[in-house]
Amino acid sequence: MVKVTINNTLVEVPESYTVLEAAREAGFDIPTLCYMKEINEVGACRVCVVEVEGARSLQASCVLPVRDGMVVKTNSKKVRETVKTTVELILANHDRECTQCVRSGNCELQTISEDLGVTGLEFQGAKREKKFDDVSASLVRDTSKCILCGKCVNVCKKQQGVGILGFQNRGFNTSVGPAFDRNMLETDCLFCGQCINVCPVGALMEKSDIHRVWDALEDPDTYVVVQTAPAVRAALGEEFGNPIGTRATGKMAASLRRLGFNKVFDTNWAADLTIMEEGHELLHRIQNGGVLPMITSCSPGWVRYCEFNYPDFIPNLSSCKSPHQMFGAIAKTYYAEKESIDPKKMFVLSVMPCTSKKTEAARPEMEVNGLRDVDAVITTRELARMIKQAGLNYNNLPDEGFDEIMGEYTGAGVIFGATGGVMEAALRTVADVLTGEDLADFEYKQVRGLVEHKEATLNIAGIDVNIAIAHGTESAGRLLEKVRNGEANYHFIEIMGCPGGCVNGGGQPQQPQKVRDVVDLLTERAKALYEEDTVSTIRKSHQNPEIQKLYTDFLGKPNGHKAHELLHTHYAKKEK
């Protein structure tokens, strides 16, 4: 421990701290734009500078180690004027059409400008050439908004292990983007959206489908159904001022009904269906000498990562479609038949925490009988925008439930949104199937939590089942290397493309870095899902009565011929 004086306040902190961390512990909020702990600690933006007694110049607090006896000022006149000038210089080269920007009101540069009292710009000059990349189905990149903080570069490289973004050119012409000026679709981008989550401004955003949804809702000849992913309920409330981790299930359903959807359903129902198919697929592989380990295929970002970087593991991927794609396929067959609806006039919308789901829905494999499984995907953020556009008073809405036939779900379905959740849901069903019992002990807490790699050997009905879990594709790559090198032997692996799973998907509400630094978003959002699991009447997927009826009336048996036609797919190697 060392003693540091910050703004006349003596604070004792670990010697491993930076001045930024020490100042925050002392109660002083130093602004940052480029800082991201352990990911982007480069001192590039210079808005976190402080005055250190004895130093000849101002220092970037985010990379400045503390030392015993250090005396620091974070709010001296020199610091305030320097930081204000720095921000004004950033703004001089920034596209300041804030009212047209998706981040207006939730922009970290905008917030810092307001805090510093920037009301006019002294500096005027040329601006960098604008590049607008909206070719992919998932992401939009606008270089006129980019402030060159580098957070997207290092999240892509260090956290996701992909590294498709980098600094191009030098000096005034520096920009951030893929090499050789390619668009995002021409790269091996996962479209996971982790770059969007950390961008402090509006340089990266999801490609919006809101206009398509409004058009469908306005068309009297179109029957529009909506489904909401498990993790959406764990974060939607943040967009309306609710505490992080507030469960929004009832108000989410009420909002969707008031937006005008013909039916409001829950992807949790399809998560239960996925467990029926995936669990029986795993049993078939174990009992019949199939390719092992079997690896989950619910996360489209992870699937793309596998197709580009580990094509030798494609046979290991479960052939199951992801839950929202299964939902779409069943909605346009089973549900349409039951309700006497022409499936050609049905529009299926998925509300997802994930930007990669947009690209997944556009994959050519994701259709049945010439009809797309899912017609449009919007993110949690886009749903919040629609609610605001419609003038709904979200916080005053009553809690409502989902519609029948494809709306009932179990606790197993809802935990899909957290890392380890798919594994636990599958184990609850597989254990019952193998033992022929309704086991009372079914919470597999050893697969929960944010440990980078989780491993366990479970004895189920006399069979030792080796399992592993990874989240974030950089972490997944290291796990696969162990399997490839013969260092580990598993039966079943769950991989989520985003750290923490879907609760931290690229389409979730964007929290400023100063919140992300002190609040564990992943844990708090996951708590909401496990809470809903705990209060659920039914907590095992195979006990969902609507799923049982689906198999009795329509599909036949899990992994049967009809199920494979509608609910399974294939993947193939992609070239970089």
Q: Which of helix, strand or coil describes residue 33? A: coil
Strands, E assignment, 97-234: 132-133, 139-142, 166-168, 175-177, 204-206, 223-228
Per the residue annotation, which of 51, 108, 206, 281 is the catalytic one? 281
CA torsion through residues 551, 552, 558, 564, sign: negative
Rounded CA-CA distance 499/39 in Å is: 13
48 given a catalytic annotation: no
Q: DSSP assignment of 398-446, as one string?
A: PP--PPSSS----HHHHGGGSTTHHHHHHHHHHHHHHHTS--S----GG
Q: Which residue, among 27, 28, 511, 483, has the nearest Cα to 293 in the 3D structure?
A: 483
Per the residue annotation, which of 108, 278, 307, 408 is the catalytic one? 278
Antiparallel, parallel or unpaired: β 376-379 and 367-368: unpaired
DSSP state of 238: G
> Helix 380-389 and helix 249-259: axis angle, to 10°?
50
DSSP-assigned beta bridge partners for residue 137: none
DSSP-assigned beta bridge partners for residue 456: 467
129 given a catalytic annotation: no
Antiparallel, parallel or unpaired: β 263-266 and 223-228: parallel
321 given a catalytic annotation: no
What the block records as the tokens of 493 is: 């692996």
> What is Dmax (Cα atoms) for the chain?
80
145 given a catalytic annotation: no
Question: What is the phi/psi pair of residue 154, to 5°?
Answer: -85, -25
CB distance 303 to 570 below 8 Å: no
Per the residue annotation, which of 502, 532, 540, 541 is the catalytic one? 502
Per the residue annotation, which of 12, 365, 404, 437 is the catalytic one? 365
Per the residue annotation, which of 238, 360, 382, 494 is the catalytic one? 360
195 given a catalytic annotation: no
Measured between alpha carbons, how far apart are the two ends of the chain, in Å? Answer: 49
Q: Which of helix, strand or coil describes residue 291? A: coil
DSSP-assigned beta bridge partners for residue 6: 9, 72
Length of the chain: 576
What the block records as the tokens of 545 is: 């009565």
Q: Which of helix, strand or coil describes residue 552? A: helix
What the block records as the tokens of 265 is: 């359903």
Per the residue annotation, which of 298, 306, 320, 498 is the catalytic one? 298
Rounded CA-CA distance 510/127 in Å is: 27
Kindly report the three-state secondary structure assignment for every residue of 519-567. CCHHHHHHHHHHHHHHHCCCCCHHHCHHHHHHHHHHHCCCCCHHHHHHH
DSSP-assigned beta bridge partners for residue 177: 166
239 given a catalytic annotation: no
> Helix 267-288 and helix 323-330: axis angle, to 10°?
110
Q: Which of helix, strand or coil describes residue 144? A: coil
Q: Which string of b and e fits 224-242 if b means at least 16 CB within 10 Å?
A: bbbbbbbbbbbbbbbbbeb
Residues with Cβ < 8 Å from 93, sequence gap 6 or more? Answer: 125, 127, 128
565 given a catalytic annotation: no
Active site residues: 278, 281, 298, 318, 357, 360, 365, 502
